[in-house]
Structure formats: C-alpha cells, structure tokens
Chain A
Amino acid sequence: MSTSEMTREDVAAITLDEATTFIWREAEILDRQDYKAWLPLFTPDGLYVIPIERDTGDRAGELNIAYDDAEMRAMRVKRLKSGFSISSAPSARTVRTTSRFVIEQGKDNSAIVRCAQMLVEYKFERTRVVGADVTYRLVRGPEGLRMARKEVLLLNSDDPLWGVGYLF
C-alpha cells in the first residue's frame, strides 16, 4: 500500500520489498567497504551488535564480539579506513548474500526483520565462508528506513574466530 492510501495517521507498514531493498543495499555498501555511506543508515541511538552467546539474553550485560553505539561505529570506520591497521590494509574482500527474510511489523513505523546471511571472505589465498542469522530493527523516518539495531549472530559465534578486518 502506498502512503497516500493510508487511512490511519501513524502506522505505515514496512513492506517486505522495502526491507529487502534496504538490506541488500546495505550488503552491497559493506562489500564495497564504503563505510561512510553505511554510518548514516543507523539511527543516532542505533546499536550494531555481534554477540558471542547463542541465547537472546541481555547483550549489554554480557561480553560481545562487538557492541557499538554511534561513537564506536564512527571510530571503527575510521580505524578500518585509516590505512594504519595491518589487519585491514589490505582488508579481506567479501561477498555476502542475504535471504530467508521474515518480517514482523512493530508499532511506531518499525519492523523486525530476520534473515540469513552467507558471507564469503577472501584474503591471502584463503577463502572462508561465514553463516549468520541477522536481525534488524528497521524504523521509518523522514528520510526513509534506518537501522535502530542490527544484530549479527554468527553461526560459530562461540567458537574460535580469526582477526576480522571488515564488517558483518
């Protein structure tokens, strides 16, 4: 339904098509490592979380692989693009696909979108495949959809990983 067809004043459902378009666009930005374009995809109070624990506990009260507010995200992007981090200069190349979308409408112009992500990483003659369940909380603002939260639960989150010089 388009906005003009809305009858209730405050709820414009986020369609699956809008959500997948947004998530695919984000995936392409991350694979291009165009992190400056990635930062504004979050709301100012948005969180980017990569947990270790498999349960859906209180992420703030447990140790994570990453638990980034806006300040940490900005610093992370600065680090990855600085040229001074030997793990990301050069960084691994990545290609990711997202699929198996499930969408649940929330109140207040928001939706929870769960999807599967397959990421292939290549660096120094080595190719790795990383699977993940990704949960987005998308909100509709004046400039379109934004991430209020992105949580990437790696398939092997509680196993030994490796130095990661890019973003999931």
Chain B
Amino acid sequence: MDMPTGGAGYGDLVQDDRVHTALYKDPAIFDEEMERIFKNTWVWVAHASEVPRKNTFRKSYVGKQPVIVTRDKEEKVHVLLNRCRHRAATVCEKKAGKTSVFVCPYHGWSYNLDGKLRSVPHQAVYGEGFDKDEFPLVSLRTEEYNGMIFATFRDDIEPLEEFLGAARKWIDLFMKQGAGYPVKTLGEHQFRFPGNWKIQLENTTDAYHFPIVHKTFLDSLDAETENVFDVLGQGGWVEDLGNGHSLMVMIPDLVDLEENLDAPIPERFAELAEELRAEGHSDHEVRRIVRAVGGGGFNLNLFPNVACSMAFFRVLRPVSVDETEIRHIAIGMDGGPEAGNRMRMRLHEHFQGPMGFGSPDDAEGWERVQRGSSAGDDLWILVNRGKEPLVGHAAGSNVTDVSAETGMRAAYQQWKRMMSA
C-alpha cells in the first residue's frame, strides 16, 4: 500500500475494526503524531504530590518537548518549556527537587519558578531597550483534576474537565486508594521498550493478554489472590468513555474501595491488618486502609499518555517511531500509616518495573509486536474483538466483554479524528 502523504489520508489507515501496520513503523506518521496529537490536546505531566510544596519542581515531557513542572512561591503550578530563552540550553537537568531559581548554566540567565526572567549577567551590554518581561520561560496552559496535572500547547481547546468527561468519575474512584488520606506518589519504575507508543497505549485496557502473558505472576499468588486476579471470569467489562479514553473493569468487586468494608480481610493482608490494629487504628479504619492498599479493580486509559491502572499511574512517552519510555508510578497515602505504604511498594515491586513479575513480559510482548510488524507489506492490526455490546449487563447497555478490544478502537478513533482534522 502506498503511504498517504497528506494529513487527510491518515484517516484511511484506521478502520472500525483494524488499523494499518504503518502506524507502528512510519517515521513520517510519528512526526505528524507529535504535531497533531501531542501538541493539540491535554497531556499528563505530573501528579500534584510530585511538586508538593512551594519552590518544588520535577522534569517531564509534553510529547517530545522537555518541560519543568513547578510550584511557585505562591503555590501555583506551572508547566514551563525547559529551554533558556537566550541560547536554548536546558535550565534544569535534575529530575526533581526544591529551588527558588533556575540558573542557565551556559550564560547565567536566571528564572523564577513561575518562569519570569529574574536577571541577566552584564545586562547593560544589551542596551536600554532590553526588557526582561519579553523573555520568560515559555509557559504552557496548565490545569489539574483531582491531583492529576495536565498541560497543553493549545489555548483554544476545551477545559481539561470537559476533555476528561466521563473519565472523571473513574479518576475519583481511583483516588479512593488514599483511604481518606491524600494520594501521593511513592516512587517509580522506569523502562524503555523498542516499539511504538501506541503498542503500549493498547495494552492498558487489554485484559485478553493478562492470563497468557502474566501466567507466572498468577502462579506466584496464593489461591485466594489468584482468584481475585481471574480477570476474565468475574463479569468485568470494557467501555469507550469518549475522546479516546477507555475503561476496563477486571475486578468489579473492587470498583468502589469504600464499599464492602464488612467483607473478610484477605489472608495476604492479615498481617498488615494486625499491625494497623496494634498502631491503634479502629476496625473501620483498618478495613478501609487494607482494602485501599490492595488497589482498585480497573484500568482507566486516558488518551494519549497516561493511565490510572489498578494501583499506580502508567505514563508513556514517545521517544521515536520505535522507542517508548514507560513510567510506573507507585502511589500511596500521604500521612497514612507507613505499614500500608510499605505494603503497597512491595506489591508494586512484585508486578511492576524492569524486574517485576509482570512488566518485563509486557515489554517483551510489545517488542515482539514491533519486530513482527516488519513482516508483510500490506497487513493490518486487528482490533475486532468483542464489538457487540453485552446484553443486560449491570454496568449498562454500551459495555463490551472484559476481553474486548473496545479500548483500542476508542483510542484509534480519537487518533483518526486528530490526525485527519
């Protein structure tokens, strides 16, 4: 097939039930995606707890562009392009930290955390017409929903809340993992895989792969927990939430972590419950914390780059057409019992990250997709599973089987809208 060259032609590469393999392989398509998608929508950059106090910052990206997420001395959050206005050097190469000023290491221009140019060495030589107000760090439009900070290059698109739409309800449910405490990040696993970013995007609401790829994770669980992770057998579902976002409920019992608090405490949390009781937490608190520590029962995929996945944030960053960086950010209770957060970190280490029992197998699967996509000249990626809505399902009339590829179709339809706009 001849590769379309114009923007309108990209739409032909996405059909209702399949997408063309060129979407994984063509560098020209990747470059267009960085322009048409990542510079034209809300992109997740950080969680509010990563810039917890005034004068804190963390590095991030919007598409391929390096940014710094800051909280200024008035506690306002900014997303600034990480580039000195003088000669383009990055002004910050530290991952995260605390500072009241960014000083460009090349010629010493210095900036406040709100981006304002503070001072320029030997300014007089620029002449009297030099106005520092003309050269702040470039600031992106920034909005926050329930602790999730997003930025966009576009001043004229819809507000963040509107873009999130039906996903907001699920973000709110996800944040119940704080068990009444604010949610905070506890650290992160980072890894790269040699494959296109959309291969990972597809994965977060793909339950079909779970029992196959993650067999060794399931084998490492006790029988009770293994039953909980029988993700295809519990009446879960997948739902298109609009704007490319999708939801996969794998464990319906764990959708709302404030419900069913009277249920017996699972064996694997018995020791934690004991420890919390010994610390003086009431029975109700213990049950609420223990239930939250285990994580939620669903994955929420937010187009184009972040997911709220069971017990962590999953962030993707496109590096090149065939390279993608992934962050799995562990979350816990800010100010909550340390024993609970420790347990969450151990659970995170068990599945996530470069040496988890799950992530390496996911990454290998994604790499195999990229390698295999070199075979054949005009073949399509199938996303045709489970197109028919489930009849009479408690979650509504628009939901599909838990193993359906509805989430992928939702993302690719959004891709098509943005790439052919």
* A→B interface (CB under 8 Å): 50, 52-53, 60-67, 72, 75-76, 78-79, 82, 84-88, 124, 158-165
Q: Are B342 and A79 in contact, with the CB atoms below 8 A?
A: no
Residues of A within 8 A of B330 (CB): 63
Closest CB in chain B relative to A123 CB, distance in Å = 10
Q: Are B354 and A76 in contact, with the CB atoms below 8 A?
A: no
Residues of B within 8 A of A66 (CB): 349, 355
Among residues 338 to 373 in chain B, which have CB atoms less than 8 Å away from a CB atom of chain A? 338, 342, 345-346, 348-350, 353-355, 357, 359-365, 367-368, 371
Residues of A within 8 A of B193 (CB): 162-163
Cα A162 to Cα B356 in complex, Å, equals: 11
* B→A interface (CB under 8 Å): 95, 186-193, 213, 215-217, 219-220, 325-326, 330, 338, 342, 345-346, 348-350, 353-355, 357, 359-365, 367-368, 371
Residues of B within 8 A of A62 (CB): 186-187, 345
Q: Are A65 and B364 in contact, with the CB atoms below 8 A?
A: no
Residues of A within 8 A of B368 (CB): 86
Q: Are B354 and A65 in contact, with the CB atoms below 8 A?
A: yes
Cα A95 to Cα B170 in complex, Å, equals: 47
A86 in complex: contacting residue of B186, B325, B342, B364, CB < 8 Å: B364
Given contacts A63-B187, A65-B189, 15 further A-B contacts (CB under 8 A): A50-B355, A62-B187, A63-B330, A65-B353, A65-B354, A78-B219, A79-B217, A86-B213, A158-B190, A160-B191, A163-B193, A163-B361, A163-B363, A164-B355, A164-B360
Residue of B whose beta carbon sits closest to that of A75: B220
B363 in complex: contacting residue of A52, A64, A162, CB < 8 Å: A162
Residue of A whose beta carbon sits closest to that of B365: A86
Residue of A whose beta carbon sits closest to that of B341: A61
**Chain A contact residues, majority secondary structure:** loop
Residues of B within 8 A of A159 (CB): 190
B349 in complex: contacting residue of A67, A78, A79, A158, CB < 8 Å: A67
Residues of A within 8 A of B367 (CB): 163
Q: Are B216 and A79 in contact, with the CB atoms below 8 A?
A: yes
Residues of B within 8 A of A163 (CB): 191, 193, 354, 359-364, 367
Residues of B within 8 A of A158 (CB): 95, 190
Residues of B within 8 A of A160 (CB): 190-192, 325-326
Cα A161 to Cα B357 in complex, Å, equals: 15
Residues of B within 8 A of A124 (CB): 371
Cα A156 to Cα B400 in complex, Å, equals: 42
Interface centre among A62, A63, A158 (most CB of B within 10 A): A63
Q: Are B354 and A161 in contact, with the CB atoms below 8 A?
A: yes
Q: Are A64 and B349 in contact, with the CB atoms below 8 A?
A: yes
